[in-house]
A and B are shown apart, each in its own frame.
Chain A
Amino acid sequence: MLTVKNLRLGFTAGRQTLAAVDGISFAISKGETFALLGESGCGKSVTAQGIMRLLPAAGRVLTGSVQLDGEELLALPEADMRRIRGGRMAMIFQEPATSLNPVLTVGRQIGEVLERHRNLRGEAATERMLELLRQVGIADPERRLGEYPFQLSGGMKQRVMIAMALAGNPQLLIADEPTTALDVTIQAQILDLLARLQAERGMGMLLITHDLGVVARMAHRIGVMYAGELVEVASREEFFTRPRHPYTQALFAALPEVSRRGLKLTTIPGQVPSLSAMPAGCRFADRCAHVMPQCRTVSPDWREVGTGHVVRCHWTGEAADVETIGHAITELNIEPGRPFLEMNQLKVHFPIRRGLFQRTVGHVRAVDGVSMAISAGRTLALVGESGCGKTTVGKALLQLIKPTDGSVKLGGGELVGMTPKRLRAARRHMQMVFQDPFASLNPRMRVGEIIAEGMTVLTLKVDANAQREAVAALLKQVGLPDEAAGRYPHEFSGGQRQRIAIARALAVQPELLICDEPTSALDVSVQAQILNLLKSLQEELGVAYLFITHNFAVVEYLAHDVAVMYLGRIVEQGRAEEVLRSPKHPYTQALLSAVPVPRLEAHTSVIRLPGETPSPANPPQGCHFHPRCPQAMAVCRQNYPETSTVSPTHTVNCHLIG
């Protein structure tokens, strides 16, 4: 149905035109999902925009052809192209929050498409809109039609986006990272919805994603992109059983998984070459484990390795036998010792002010009575979806946010309410690594100054020479060259910046590092590097981690203990193997089952949670989880469940257990 041939897309920069997509070809037939897989910057989104002819101002179609049912799209006049866009071919975007017009109602925005492509107005259009909203699973569609995007939750906005895309009855749906911005339970809902709609309507779908799990859940055929080129195209079975390109294999090997606990993850050295400095031969040659002399000079041709499985690689070997290097210490060696950080009934409430005099009318209970303990040298993973309060816990521990109530004890000393002077001394025992490597380093300071700041403030190394040596040692420890100290953050990539942030935190030799989603902004291969680094640092320094994350794969790979948070409270905690292997709380079970697994045999028993996380300003009566719980009972609506002990180390807050 859709045939893309030798498509080249570029961006003009000054007098040059740099090709961001360099000659890719693929086809999608009716009812088929073709997934374009690749890390950031490989040109997959540009491809989608090129097919829709929606390139940004500097973008150019250089050569190639895009045919929809035999009709050449690139040659069409703009007016005819508009008839196809939103009609026979529709697109949904990554950020539902910004992709809807904030000042127009949902009905207006869907109605536009109906009017343009289906010639529907008035009553008929409303009827159709209600039908569409029902199809995408929006309850109470009559009310939603008159609402504005800001009144909808993130998942609902994406559903509206999908309804909008479906309004023109498209033959082909292009979904550009449709679930990346969503929580894992909502992601599962949206992926189910897309799969169902596609099956019902027999649409073709071009799915763009970086997530192997999403690919496994959705795709029929997969194309792997690297540096603007397709390097491997395979059917789903072939792809997951016999990936042939070294890049594809490396992507699989870099995934953190429970089976790789105690092993070093495979990483891909180096970086994607920049558009202006593309190598002449194979573009992956510099980073490839199987590189041969001819790879540097000759760009490989397509080679068929199985039915419908083609690969662009000179190397003819089978699957790479990945070297498995073990970490020196596994969790077996670390016995849970005396907890050195304990928090008890920690609460952080933010007042909601309303009305004439801005009186406090309620509280956002971001953290509502959390008790945890962290032992030396171990990793505690705090898991939960966005808005559950996990980041607030981290900041409240460091007293960056003042806790409303409860206690945080560090080695017996109470931190809550401590005088600023004494608090400063306590701060050297724990530090934080933040989520966004681009926002966590001051762009106006040299890396050396950034790392040294903590030492200066906590007067650890006052002498300039000693400080310089300490900085050099830290840089070495996190795997950065010495001369990095004199450079500025903008000269480093995301992964390198995260290393700098880790070095900064380690500079004061803390016993506890609070890591707030430190890898969620990074690509899989870079994530593997950071995870390896964190593990080896733990071996060397015996530092404990509070690892705040939503990513279960990372938890499985890294954590010794796990705590699951929902709406400001911990619903289940225990040893990693206990919580992950035999989850007791329905929420934990649902979370685990919602994670798309990058394997063929993924879908066994699937628990789908309805609805979305309620607002922490107004949590449901009784058990916070009962409105979404598949096993809710009468008692769940009335009382919040007490803590029940499953094993000495495993506790659950659920009436089913108690």
Chain B
Amino acid sequence: MMGFQIIVLWSDVLIWLLVAAGMGVGVLIAKNPPLLSAWRRVGASRVGMASAVVLIAFALIGLVDSLHYRSQLESKPGQPVVYSVEVLSLLDALVTPLRTRNEKTYSEPFATRLYAKETIDVPGKGTVRDYPRLKYGGIHLGEREDEVAADVAMTAFRAAVLAFLGWLAVAGVVAQIVARDGSGWQKIWRGETVFAWNALLIMLGLILLIAVPLFALSTQYHVFGTDKVGQDVLYQILKSVRTGLIIGLVTTLVMLPMAVLLGIVAGYFRGWVDDVIQYVYTVLSSIPGVLLIAAAVLMMQVVIDTHPQWFSTSAERADLRLLALCFILGITSWTGLCRLLRGETLKLRELEYIQAAQAFGVSNWRIIVRHILPNLMHIVIIALVMDFSGLVLAEAVLSYVGIGVDPSMTSFGTMINSARMELGREPVVWWSLAAAFTAMFILVLAANLFADAVRDAFDPRAA
């Protein structure tokens, strides 16, 4: 058993803090009936629950990918312990075959041979130009390369049966939870439950039916093919999820405190405080977002490049750059929420319950905390979920332009960026782009649908 050293990256800290905060908020919500009833409305929305399942699946991948370590290098006894410079995550450990079984270059999904002809030595025939056999893809078939289709179908079928049985077990437990007397099953499928269990279970079934066969196959084949340097595309997709999640969540959380505080203060106190805050956000929002981000990222790059001594591993450097990007995105995007909250506070402060509090001489800060903030929470929650999808999309564009995450960090943007010319090749290499776009589409679509469900449940006008 090799030793290892746990590495805690800054983004890991933030992401686990987020999980903790999410649980804390959950407890608070459970104690607060108005908020709880709003979340119940989200729970009753079929689309909302189906998309929530997808989002949770993505979040699990991201969380497993947020536990980092460095493995111990083999060293002679007596010598100091040395750890590998490569920082790995729990996800890397779980999918070691995907990470390590690299081919030489491009190969199609489920291929057994490379996508480019090479000169190979065939014993007895001399050198020929042919598609060389892959080192790992479909190697268990040996000479029976023409049986790929049958083998894939068989493996997929077995895995699907397994997935279905697993799903039945979960659904059975849920039915028991819904109603102890055994009528739970009927209630769920007739849509008689308040919580949208049926949508949740259907989506869970779909995910299991797709994911389990996919992973069963991925041990034997490159299910999404390999890229230019022979890396498995499925592995890249899995690694991209964490990047997308961090950009989408941390950014909003970075800007939230500032937007909330300044927005409320401006709206509540008005006068010169309002003038100053309005001036600041008008100036910041006057600079077109992309350009401000470009300028800030350029400057951040200079800082990082001129201080190499700050980082012991490249993972740390990439991680810090990712967080810096979150901060930059946050600083450029807080103005919208701030303006919204200011306007809403202006309306709230004229309401009679605020005046009633003022009539008791309740201090301004106490009014803000007890009366104004709780009545703005729905806007904050809506903003949080609405921004997520936009930020995931923005990351792809920024990374493509070259002002996104570190090129060494896998993300949807860097995947697309490195595959940008592949459609121009003859013959076409389509799988990297297709996989990246599809994965991103599913994540963003789920986020958008969930955001809609949340907005409908929280927006008082919709009710």
Residues of chain A at the chain B interface (Cβ within 8 Å): 395, 398, 400, 420, 423-424, 427, 431-432, 434-436, 439-445, 450, 453-454, 457-458, 488, 490, 501, 504-505, 508
* Known pairs A444-B374, A488-B34; A432 contacts B359 (CB<8 A): yes
Task: Give the chain A neighbours of B355 by CB distance below 8 A.
Answer: 395, 400, 432, 434
Contact check, A508 vs B34: say whether CB atoms are below 8 A apart: no
Contact check, A420 vs B361: say whether CB atoms are below 8 A apart: yes
Among A439, A441, A445, A458, point to the contact of B370 (Cβ < 8 A). A445
19 CB contacts below 8 A, A to B, read: A400-B355, A427-B360, A434-B355, A436-B352, A439-B351, A439-B352, A439-B353, A440-B351, A441-B353, A442-B371, A444-B34, A445-B371, A445-B374, A450-B353, A453-B370, A457-B362, A457-B363, A488-B33, A505-B356
Q: Is the interface of B mostly helix, strand, loop or mixed?
A: helix
* Known pairs A434-B352, A435-B352, A488-B34; A453 contacts B374 (CB<8 A): no
Asked if B357 lies at the interface with its beta carbon under 8 angstroms from chain A, I say: yes
Give Cα A434–Cα B354 distance, bound, in whole angstroms. 11
Asked if B375 lies at the interface with its beta carbon under 8 angstroms from chain A, I say: yes
Contact check, A423 vs B361: say whether CB atoms are below 8 A apart: yes
Among B33, B34, B361, B371, point to the contact of A458 (Cβ < 8 A). B361
Among B34, B357, B362, B374, point to the contact of A490 (Cβ < 8 A). B34
Give Cα A400–Cα B354 distance, bound, in whole angstroms. 11
B460: nearest chain-A partner, CB-CB: A443
Residues of chain B at the chain A interface (Cβ within 8 Å): 32-34, 351-353, 355-363, 366, 370-371, 374-375
Among A424, A432, A444, point to the contact of B356 (Cβ < 8 A). A432
Give Cα A236–Cα B222 distance, bound, in whole angstroms. 88
In the complex, besides A423-B361, A488-B34, 17 extra interface pairs with C-beta distance below 8 angstroms are A398-B359, A400-B359, A431-B359, A432-B356, A434-B355, A435-B352, A440-B356, A442-B374, A444-B34, A444-B374, A444-B375, A457-B360, A457-B362, A457-B366, A458-B361, A501-B356, A505-B356
Task: Give the chain A neighbours of B370 by CB distance below 8 A.
Answer: 442, 445, 453
Give Cα A559–Cα B360 distance, bound, in whole angstroms. 26
Name the residue in A435, A436, A457 with the highest tally of chain B Cβ atoms < 10 Å from its Cβ: A457
Among B33, B351, B358, B375, point to the contact of A400 (Cβ < 8 A). B358
Task: Give the chain A neighbours of B360 by CB distance below 8 A.
Answer: 427, 431, 453-454, 457-458, 508
Give Cα A48–Cα B353 distance, bound, in whole angstroms. 35
Q: How many A-B residue pairs have CB under 8 A?
A: 63
Contact check, B356 vs A504: say whether CB atoms are below 8 A apart: yes
B33: nearest chain-A partner, CB-CB: A488
A434: nearest chain-B partner, CB-CB: B352
Name the residue in B33, B361, B363 with the highest tally of chain A Cβ atoms < 10 Å from its Cβ: B361
CB distance from A309 to the nearest CB of B (A): 43
Give Cα A435–Cα B34 distance, bound, in whole angstroms. 24
Task: Give the chain A neighbours of B33 by CB distance below 8 A.
Answer: 488
Task: Give the chain B neighbours of A434 by CB distance below 8 A.
Answer: 352, 355-356
Among A398, A424, A440, point to the contact of B352 (Cβ < 8 A). A440
CB distance from B279 to the nearest CB of A (A): 15
A425: nearest chain-B partner, CB-CB: B361
A427: nearest chain-B partner, CB-CB: B361
Give Cα A459–Cα B218 distance, bound, in whole angstroms. 68
Give Cα A626–Cα B324 distance, bound, in whole angstroms. 70
CB distance from B264 to the nearest CB of A (A): 15
Task: Give the chain A neighbours of B359 by CB distance below 8 A.
Answer: 398, 400, 427, 431-432
Task: Give the chain B neighbours of A423 by CB distance below 8 A.
Answer: 361
Give Cα A395–Cα B352 distance, bound, in whole angstroms. 11
A441: nearest chain-B partner, CB-CB: B353
Contact check, A440 vs B361: say whether CB atoms are below 8 A apart: no
Task: Give the chain B neighbours of A444 by CB distance below 8 A.
Answer: 32, 34, 374-375
Task: Give the chain A neighbours of B351 by CB distance below 8 A.
Answer: 439-440
Name the residue in B32, B359, B363 with the highest tally of chain A Cβ atoms < 10 Å from its Cβ: B359
Task: Give the chain A neighbours of B353 by CB distance below 8 A.
Answer: 439-442, 450
Task: Give the chain B neighbours of A490 by CB distance below 8 A.
Answer: 34
Name the residue in A398, A436, A442, A508 with the highest tally of chain B Cβ atoms < 10 Å from its Cβ: A442
Task: Give the chain B neighbours of A488 by CB distance below 8 A.
Answer: 33-34
Give Cα A395–Cα B375 distance, bound, in whole angstroms. 24
Give Cα A434–Cα B359 distance, bound, in whole angstroms. 11
* Known pairs A420-B361, A427-B359, A453-B362; A443 contacts B375 (CB<8 A): yes
Name the residue in B32, B351, B375 with the highest tally of chain A Cβ atoms < 10 Å from its Cβ: B351
B357: nearest chain-A partner, CB-CB: A453
